Structure formats: C-alpha cells, structure tokens
Amino acid sequence: MMTANPILHGRTKHLELDLHFVREHAIQQHIRVCHIPSSRQVADGFTKPIPHRCFAMFKKHIGVQDVP
C-alpha cells in the first residue's frame, strides 16, 4: 500500500502531496487506510470503460436512472 511504502515512483509523482498528508495521518492513527478491490471502485465509471453490469452498479451508487 502506498501509505505504508515510503518509496515513490515516477508514476505517482502527481500524488506526492496528498499521499504524504494521508500517510502522516495514518501513522498517527487519525485515519485507517483500507484496500478496496477494483470491483468496488465506484469512480471507475467516470474514468474508464467498464462492463455493463459494473456500469449498472455505478449508476445505482451515484443515483442515476435511465430515462424511458
């Protein structure tokens, strides 16, 4: 998990400030960081193509309904 690993890579450069903020609070036990499997990543509906079943779940979670 990135909050536990102090080594950052080039692909994570844009996350550095937020990551350090979250890491600091996780170390101080103000927050708990948990893994969320990709099948439950609701934001994926905004950022990448997903299967129809996952898209239906995404719409349900954000409160969007089909218009007849």
Question: CA dist 21 to 17, 24, 33, 42, 54, Å?
Answer: 6, 5, 12, 23, 31
Question: How many CB atoms lie under 10 A from the CB of residue 26?
Answer: 15
Q: Give the CA count within 13 Å in the CB-facing half-sphere of 46.
A: 6
Q: Examine the domain organization and report whether 3 and 31 are in the same domain.
A: yes
Q: What tens digit of pLDDT does each residue of 1-60 get?
A: 555 565 655 555 566 667 778 888 999 999 998 888 877 787 888 888 888 888 888 888
On whether the pTM is more than 0.85, the answer is no
Q: Examine the domain organization and report whether 30 and 46 are in the same domain.
A: no
Q: Examine the domain organization and report whether 42 and 60 are in the same domain.
A: yes
Structural domain including 7 reads 1-35
Q: Examine the domain organization and report whether 65 and 47 are in the same domain.
A: yes
Q: Examine the domain organization and report whether 30 and 41 are in the same domain.
A: no
Q: Examine the domain organization and report whether 41 and 68 are in the same domain.
A: yes
- Show the CA angle centred on residue 34, arms to residues 49 and 10, nearest 5°: 60
Q: Examine the domain organization and report whether 21 and 2 are in the same domain.
A: yes
